């Protein structure tokens, strides 16, 4: 039995019998209850120790309540501490994986478009850009990268790997042996390509199947890193330094 319940039981017994009794050696006060005829029928006594007993009982009750409150508070603190520790130790999310380093996309091997008069198509190579501009309608043009080892080298060698194939057809799909009308073919080379030789000698060359020939109607602009020609022939072209 908890102390508070035991004290309550004792207090109940004392309150029941104390009014009828004065303990030996103690002091108390008494009063007589008068009867209707002027006599008295009983003597009730209230011992002086009763208020002190009530004070002690109340004090013990309050002390026990304080102990219980402190114990409950301590358990809550322990529970909170354990919960926080558990959250900190095991509840954290794992660190995100490092970002994937993607390699840059390789330059395209081919570019094509169905063009009308004044339209153009371009192909980016490692060291420059090739562009063909046409002056007729309904013309499908294709520019494709060529492995420099797949063709004989032109006089002076290929500049910075700038070699490519030009093909054309009608937009409906019919193949062509040459351009129906002249087009402008230009090569814009990068600075590092220009540093590999004498830019004033850079020339657009055409492989006719047997030998390399300079493309017709050339215009050179070394300051702008640009060479162009007016052509009709289809096939392999290269930037060379003859």
**One domain, residues 135 and 223:** yes
- Are both 62 and 152 inside the same structural domain? no
Question: Are residues 200 and 126 located together in one domain of the fold?
Answer: yes
Answer left, alpha or beta for residue 173, where phi above 0 means left and psi between -120 and 50 means alpha. left
Q: Is the pLDDT of residue 107 over 70?
A: no
Residue 71 shares a structural domain with residue 118: no
Q: Are residues 118 and 185 in the same domain?
A: yes
CATH assignment of the domain containing 173: 2.60.220
Among the residue ranges 33-47, 97-111, 143-157, 180-194, the one predicted with the least confidence is 33-47
> Are residues 127 and 191 both part of a single domain?
yes
Q: Are residues 33 and 144 in the same domain?
A: no
The verdict on residue 88 lying in a domain is: no
pTM above 0.85, yes or no: no
Domain ranges, residue 154: 110-240
Is 94 within a domain? no
Residues 77, 117, single domain; the answer is no
Model confidence at 106: pLDDT above 70: no
Q: What percent of the chain has pLDDT over 70?
A: 60
**Residue 92, token pair as written in the block:** 């954290």
Residues 117 and 66 in one domain: no
The Cα–Cα gap between 37 and 235 comes to 149
How many whole angstroms from its chain centre is CA 19? 83
The total domain count for the chain is: 2
CA–CA gap between residue 53 and residue 80 (Å, rounded):
41
Q: Which two tokens stand for residue 119?
A: 């339209």
Structural domain contains residue 96: no
Q: Rounded CA gap, 173 and 175, in Å?
A: 6
Is the sign of the CA dihedral 66, 69, 75, 79 positive or negative? negative
Banded model confidence at residue 23, pLDDT cuts 50, 70, 90 = very low
Answer whether residue 132 is part of any domain: yes
Task: Check whether residue 121 and residue 234 sit in a common domain.
Answer: yes
């Amino acid at each position: 039995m908890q102390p508070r319940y035991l004290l309550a039981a004792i207090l109940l017994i004392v309150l029941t019998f104390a009014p009828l009794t004065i303990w030996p050696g103690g002091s108390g006060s008494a009063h007589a209850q008068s009867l209707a005829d002027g006599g008295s029928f009983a003597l009730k006594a209230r011992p002086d120790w009763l208020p002190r007993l009530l004070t002690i009982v109340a004090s013990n009750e309050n002390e026990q309540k304080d102990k219980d409150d402190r114990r409950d508070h301590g358990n809550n603190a322990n529970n909170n501490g354990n919960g926080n520790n558990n959250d900190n130790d095991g509840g954290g999310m794992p660190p995100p994986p490092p970002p994937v380093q993607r390699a840059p996309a390789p330059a395209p091997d081919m570019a094509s478009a169905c063009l009308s008069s004044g339209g153009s198509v371009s192909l980016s190579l490692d060291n420059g850009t090739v562009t063909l501009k046409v002056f007729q309608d309904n013309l499908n043009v294709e520019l494709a990268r060529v492995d420099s080892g797949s063709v004989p080298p032109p006089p002076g060698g290929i500049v910075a790997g700038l070699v490519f194939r030009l093909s054309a057809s009608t937009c409906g799909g019919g193949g062509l042996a040459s351009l129906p009308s002249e087009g402008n073919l230009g090569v814009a080379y990068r600075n590092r390509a220009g540093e590999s030789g004498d830019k004033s000698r850079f020339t657009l060359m055409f492989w006719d199947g047997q030998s390399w020939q300079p493309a017709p109607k050339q215009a050179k602009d070394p300051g702008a890193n640009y060479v162009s020609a007016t052509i009709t022939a289809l096939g392999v072209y290269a930037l060379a330094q003859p």
